[in-house]
Structure 1
Amino acid sequence: MSCIMHTLTGKGPKMTAAAARSRPYLHAVGVFLLVRLSGLVMLAILAGNRDRALFDVLKSWDGDWYLAIAENGYDNVPARFVDAAGQHTPTTPLAFFPLYPMLIRVVAPITGSDTVAAALLVSLIAGCAAAAGIFRIARIVDPRPKTGLLLVALWAGSPMAITLSMAYTEALFTALAVWALVAVLEREWILAGLYTAIAGLARPSASVLVGTVALAAMLTVFREGRNWAAAACAVMCPIGLFAWWGYVANETGSLTGWFDIQRAGWFSYFDGGAQTLKFVGEVLGSGNSLMETVTVLAVLAAVVLAVLIIRDRIPWPLSLYGGGTVLMVVVSAGISYSKARFLIPAFPLLIPVAQGLANRKSHTMYAATAAFVLFGGWFSAYSLTGWTLAI
């Protein structure tokens, strides 16, 4: 952890303030890698205690699905892969968006690796890209480099951030979302539309990103008149998301085909937050499960942070994206233990925390950041080794 702290402040033995300013993105990526390495070491220790191989753990649950799709295509996923209801139908694999398995399929032969290594490599590269983008956004909000590095450390070390190092889509989607928002804030509308359209092929939570970027583009057109780049952005944004939903609709013969698969197979649907409120009440009333308790606390903390970023003076697209992601998590029914994972892409929620730590004395900043990262790493490792249900 001392390496991470030195990187955060630029006070390492071979690092000057001038050097820190000249290589900001390299340092942001370095913080990300150090935090993720600490989490992987913790996971390896807990997995070893239970006689489980690290790579097997890193591809568990949804990871196995993505690998099966990458290896066999959507039409030939083995029947042993079943949904949360214990069923496998010809359309069951269509619940999983295509971008990640497609990249795995492309990267594996290029690198000469198997699909597991290719999947982890895609997540690693995407995580580094996301870290650089998060640092860039932090510099827009707060010019102090340490705020950006703290934001990267908090994001990479949050509870369930282990999925950034797994065969999961969190790293890939966050990278696309981050750079789409960077493009919005810097008025690079074509890039914003392109990143958002691609993100729509990664996971369903792209709907929040699509709404945020499209609204920013349309407001620009309304205010400035003939801004053709912004108008093109608004048109481009939903292409990826609508294309996949349309493909699934065609395959299933139902306009709501993807949503039907989610509801029948993973019990996931919009219920206005009824299941979330029931889950929170039951867990806080019993406190029987560590996994459930921490998940509930993460959701409650996210709600509080969403209020803070809306009240604070940060660019409204960040507030809308972060708050919208929290709202989607709260109002959706499904596997409740996954809610902490679903919050990983909502990095703007951590901006007030990073700013608050940056305002504290060095020893307080060190201790708080280290404690957060260590707890997040331990909880992530526990969720994959001590908890027996899906994450």
Structure 2
Amino acid sequence: MTDLDQRPATGHRTAAALRRAAPALFVYAGVRALGLAVLAVWGAVAGKSPHTLLSARWDSLWYTRVADFGYGWEVRLPDGSVHSNLAFFPLLPWLERSGSVFGLSYADAGLVVSALASLCAAGGIFAVAEHVYGRRAGVCAVALWAVLPVGIVQSMAYSESLFTALAAWALYAVLTGRWVTAGLLAALAGLTRPVGAAVVAAVWVTAALAAYRRKRAGERPLAAGRDWRMLLGVVLAPLGAAGYVLWVGHRTGDGLFGYLDVQKQWGNGFDGGYAFARFIGEKFTSPAGALAGIGLIVGVAGLVWLYVKGVRQHQPPALLVYCGIVVVLALCASGYFGSKPRLLMPAFPLLLPLAVALARLRTSRAALVVGSVALVSAVYGAFWLHGSGPP
């Protein structure tokens, strides 16, 4: 087959994939539009700019400063600690800087990147869920991701949407044996957020299992072209995260531990969940706080139940490895505890058991469930951003 013959075939496959994903993307766009509309109305009443809330507060400011001034900007707090912008991985600021070519401000470029990335993330989540459980479950998985209580972050100039898009499509590439694509996307995910290590682990574990199965079957490893592509994907996967961490270590003069020192200055670190457990325990010092503590315990138990449910439903190892690491890093890290729901957002495989259950309902009933939760999520998102909000 010539290249000219291949191009129409590729175009047909792309068009077919878009047709399959269209309902999921339509639902996702509708939910996000509802969230933005409620935020706009709330902002008009409260006298606050939705544009500022979405693009020029909290971490969004740090990303735009990296895009504007590069790395090296820091804030020294009264207690002597230093908050350095080296804590923020570079892919989103790079894309924001690229947006200036089109006359956009860095903040507006961040919003555009987030909007496009969130649609790509929805498409990736659909592709993964459809591959594992079928088209209807794929649509439901996207709907559930859209109506998360902190789903408004998907429309902010934050890196969650970008990371989830790269992670979802990397996982889909792993599931379908596209190893070089998986490695490249994993490397880009590693340039987006520290949790990019979860994508790398998913690539490595799946490759190791594939090699083990080949050995058990008596086949020679690396005997075919696809095996070399798998090896190349494995090599490519960690380059993004490793490259940035090593660069930070070189810049700070602290070697391999330079990035960890930067995060420590921000109050972030991995303590196995001790700080989070203590935070929950402190809630029980008052009757009102006890309700919040119970709610947190129920929430963590729900996350564990969903993960176990995914194991019992025989989710592919790539999804289980990726999701498990995202959840562990989110729950077992010290730092600002209000960020944990946002940090859990990329763990979309947790939603697959719920998506399968939702897919079994009649379309009208499933639409009623999603619509009701979407409205609650939109109101909560507006309330959240007008209150404590992220970081």
Category of TM-score, reference length = shorter chain: 0.7 to 0.9
Once the 2 structures are TM-superposed, how far is the Cα of residue 345 of structure 1 from its aligned partner? 0.5
1:38 alignment partner in structure 2: 34
Which protein has the larger Cα radius of gyration, Structure 1 or Structure 2? Answer: 2
1:28–1:152 CA contact under 8 A, matched in 2: yes
1:41 is aligned with what amino acid? A
SS, match of residue 74 in structure 1: coil
Cα distance in structure 2, aligned partners of 1:160 and 1:330 = 16
2:163–2:189 CA contact under 8 A, matched in 1: yes
Once the 2 structures are TM-superposed, how far is the Cα of residue 382 of structure 1 from its aligned partner? 1.9
2:131 is the alignment partner of 1:140: yes
2:323 alignment partner in structure 1: 322
Once the 2 structures are TM-superposed, how far is the Cα of residue 289 of structure 1 from its aligned partner? 10
2:105 is the alignment partner of 1:114: yes
1:173–1:345 CA contact under 8 A, matched in 2: yes
Q: 1:85 to 1:367 in 2, by over 3 A?
A: farther
RMSD, aligned α-carbons: 2.5
2:96 alignment partner in structure 1: 104
Cα distance in structure 2, aligned partners of 1:28 and 1:85 = 48
Q: 1:49 to 1:374 in 2, by over 3 A?
A: same
Cα distance in structure 2, aligned partners of 1:293 and 1:381 = 25
- Counting aligned pairs with the same residue, the percent is 36
2:284–2:290 CA contact under 8 A, matched in 1: no
1:4 alignment partner in structure 2: none
2:155 alignment partner in structure 1: 165
2:99–2:105 CA contact under 8 A, matched in 1: no
- Give the length in aligned residue pairs: 364
2:68 alignment partner in structure 1: 71
Q: 1:21 to 1:182 in 2, by over 3 A?
A: closer
2:48 alignment partner in structure 1: 52
2:327–2:344 CA contact under 8 A, matched in 1: yes
Cα distance in structure 1, aligned partners of 2:47 and 2:298 = 30
In the TM superposition, 1:1-391 aligns within 5 A as 23-59=19-55, 60-75=57-72, 77=73, 88=82, 92-109=84-101, 111-143=102-134, 145-224=135-214, 225-226=221-222, 227-254=227-254, 255-265=256-266, 267-283=267-283, 286=286, 287-288=288-289, 298-387=299-388, 390-391=390-391
1:5 alignment partner in structure 2: none
Structure 1-normalised TM-score?
A: 0.86
After superposition, the C-alpha distances for 1:276-308 in whole angstroms (9 at most, x for unaligned) are 222233346654599988766544432221121
Structure 2-normalised TM-score?
A: 0.86
Once the 2 structures are TM-superposed, how far is the Cα of residue 47 of structure 1 from its aligned partner? 2.5
Unaligned runs of 5+ in 2: 1-14, 215-220
Cα distance in structure 2, aligned partners of 1:84 and 1:23 = 56
Q: 1:133 to 1:311 in 2, by over 3 A?
A: same
Unaligned runs of 5+ in 1: 1-18
